[in-house]
């Protein structure tokens, strides 16, 4: 069952401070991705006409969140695609740290269809938190805008 509140924007003086929720860590990461694109545009206007695969690895869960969101921003910058549907098949512990595999769906950016909000320059580690409890996970992070 999906959490009713997917994410919210927290108060921050200059950047986008976000907390994303889920019943699992995977769902919280998916909602963090959705929030990232919501900073950029109205994600309800993004059709899911293309699908890309994403695999990222990192030494710990915070680095995995950072690398996941950074890869999505790289996809936007290099492919010109906006995304609104994120399905993480798994986050697994490996001997080197953690690995994430996902399918992401969206469409090419079209300025006539996708209202531009704010450009996201980068993901940061500042104030990053990952909290897990049984049947509940949340991630907090800041996007440099």
pLDDT at 1: 44
pLDDT at 4: 72
Q: Is residue 1 part of a domain?
A: no
Q: What is the pTM of this model?
A: 0.91
Q: What percent of the chain is modeled with pLDDT above 90?
A: 88
Query: Domain span at residue 76?
Result: 7-144
CATH number, domain with residue 29: 3.55.10.10
Q: Is 40 exposed, middle or buried (0-12, 13-18, 19+ CB in 10 A)?
A: buried
Q: Is residue 104 part of a domain?
A: yes
Q: How many domains does the chain have?
A: 1
Indicate whether 12 pLDDT > 70. Answer: no
pLDDT at 13: 63
DSSP per residue, the chain: ---S--EEEEP-SSSEEEEEEESSHHHHHHHHHHHHHHHHS-GGG----EEEEEEEEESSHHHHHHHHHHHHHHHHHHH-EEEEEEEEEEEEEETTEEEEEEEEEEEE--TTTS-------EEEEEEEEEEEETTEEEEEEEEE-
């Amino acid at each position: 069952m999906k959490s009713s509140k997917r994410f919210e924007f927290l108060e921050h003086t200059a950047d986008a401070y976000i907390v994303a929720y889920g019943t699992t860590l995977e769902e919280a990461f998916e909602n963090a991705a959705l929030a990232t694109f919501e900073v950029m545009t109205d994600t309800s206007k993004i059709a899911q006409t293309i699908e890309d695969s994403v695999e990222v690895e990192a030494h710990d869960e915070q680095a995995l969140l950072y690398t996941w969101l950074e890869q999505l921003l790289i996809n936007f910058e290099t492919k010109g695609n906006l995304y609104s549907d994120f399905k993480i098949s798994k986050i697994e512990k490996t001997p080197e740290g953690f690995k994430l595999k996902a399918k992401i769906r969206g469409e090419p950016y079209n300025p006539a269809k996708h209202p531009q909000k704010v450009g996201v320059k980068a993901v940061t580690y500042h104030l990053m938190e990952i909290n897990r409890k049984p049947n509940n996970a949340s991630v907090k992070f800041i996007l440099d805008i």
